[in-house]
Amino acid sequence: MKRVFSGYRPTGDVHLGNYLGAIRNCVFLQKEMDENLICVVDLHAMTTLSDNKNLASDTLMMAAAFIASGIDPNRSIIFAQSHVPLHLELSWIFSCLTPLGWLNRMTQFKEKADKNRENSCLGLLAYPVLMAADVLLYKATHVPVGEDQKQHVELMRDLAGLFNRTFSKDLFSLPEPVITGPATRIMSLRDGASKMSKSDISDYSRINLMDDADTLAIKIRKAKTDTDPLPDTAKGLETRPEARNLVSIYAALSGQTADQICQKFAGNNFSTFKEDITNLLIEHILPIGQEIQRLLKEGKHLESILKTGAERANLLANKHMNDVREAVGLLKAL
CB atoms near residue 135 (< 10 Å): 29
Residues 143-162 that bind ligand TRP (CB under 6 A): 143, 145, 149, 152
Alpha carbon 143 to its chain centroid, in Å, reads 10
- What is the C-alpha to C-alpha distance for residues 122 and 100, in angstroms, rounded to an integer? 11
Binding map of ligand AMP across residues 182-211, x = CB under 6 A, - = no contact = --xxx--------xxx--------------
Question: For residues 133 and 87, is the Cβ–Cβ distance under 8 A?
Answer: yes
Residues 264-303 that bind ligand AMP (CB under 6 A): none
Residues 85-124 that bind ligand TRP (CB under 6 A): none
Which neighbouring-strand residues pair with 3?
Answer: 35
Residues in binding contact with ligand AMP, number by CB under 6 A: 16
Give 165's contacts (C-beta < 8 A, 6+ positions apart): none
| Closer Cβ to ligand AMP, 104 or 180, answer by number | 180
| Closer Cβ to ligand AMP, 21 or 175, answer by number | 21
Give 5's contacts (C-beta < 8 A, 6+ positions apart): 37, 38, 39, 134, 135, 138, 140, 142, 143, 175
Asked if 40 interacts with ligand AMP (CB under 6 A), we say no
Given ligand TRP, ligand AMP, none, residue 143, with its beta carbon under 5 to 8 Å by kind, binds ligand TRP
Closest residue to ligand TRP using C-beta atoms: 7
**Closest C-alpha to 199, from 8, 12, 42:** 12
Given ligand AMP, ligand TRP, none, residue 196, with its beta carbon under 5 to 8 Å by kind, binds ligand AMP
Residues 1-20 that bind ligand AMP (CB under 6 A): 8-9, 17-18
Question: For residues 82 and 119, is the Cβ–Cβ distance under 8 A?
Answer: no
- What is the C-alpha to C-alpha distance for residues 71 and 36, in angstroms, rounded to an integer? 9
Asked if 21 interacts with ligand AMP (CB under 6 A), we say yes
CB of 22 vs ligand AMP, minimal distance in Å: 4
**Residue from the set 9, 15, 24, 157 that interacts with ligand TRP by CB under 6 A:** 9
Given ligand AMP, ligand TRP, none, residue 175, with its beta carbon under 5 to 8 Å by kind, binds none
CB of 54 vs ligand AMP, minimal distance in Å: 15
Question: For residues 86 and 317, is the Cβ–Cβ distance under 8 A?
Answer: yes
Give 113-122 contacts, CB < 8 A, sequence gap 24+: 121/47
| Closer Cβ to ligand AMP, 138 or 163, answer by number | 138
Given ligand TRP, ligand AMP, none, residue 21, with its beta carbon under 5 to 8 Å by kind, binds ligand AMP
Residues 128-147 that bind ligand AMP (CB under 6 A): 145-146
Asked if 5 interacts with ligand TRP (CB under 6 A), we say yes
Structure-derived torsion over alpha carbons of residues 79, 85, 88, 93, reported in degrees to the nearest 10: -120
* Amino acid symbol at 128: P
Asked if 7 interacts with ligand TRP (CB under 6 A), we say yes
The string of DSSP codes covering 155-172 is HHHHHHHHHHHHTT----
Asked if 220 interacts with ligand AMP (CB under 6 A), we say no
| Closer Cβ to ligand TRP, 131 or 261, answer by number | 131
Asked if 41 interacts with ligand TRP (CB under 6 A), we say yes
Residues 156-215 that bind ligand TRP (CB under 6 A): none
Structure-derived torsion over alpha carbons of residues 229, 234, 238, 241, reported in degrees to the nearest 10: 60
CB contact burial 299-325 (16+ within 10 A = b; e otherwise): eeebeebbeebbebbbebbeebbeebb
- The residues binding ligand AMP (CB under 6 A) are 8-9, 17-18, 21-22, 145-146, 148-149, 184-186, 195-197
- The residues binding ligand TRP (CB under 6 A) are 5-7, 9, 41, 44, 131, 134-135, 143, 145, 149, 152
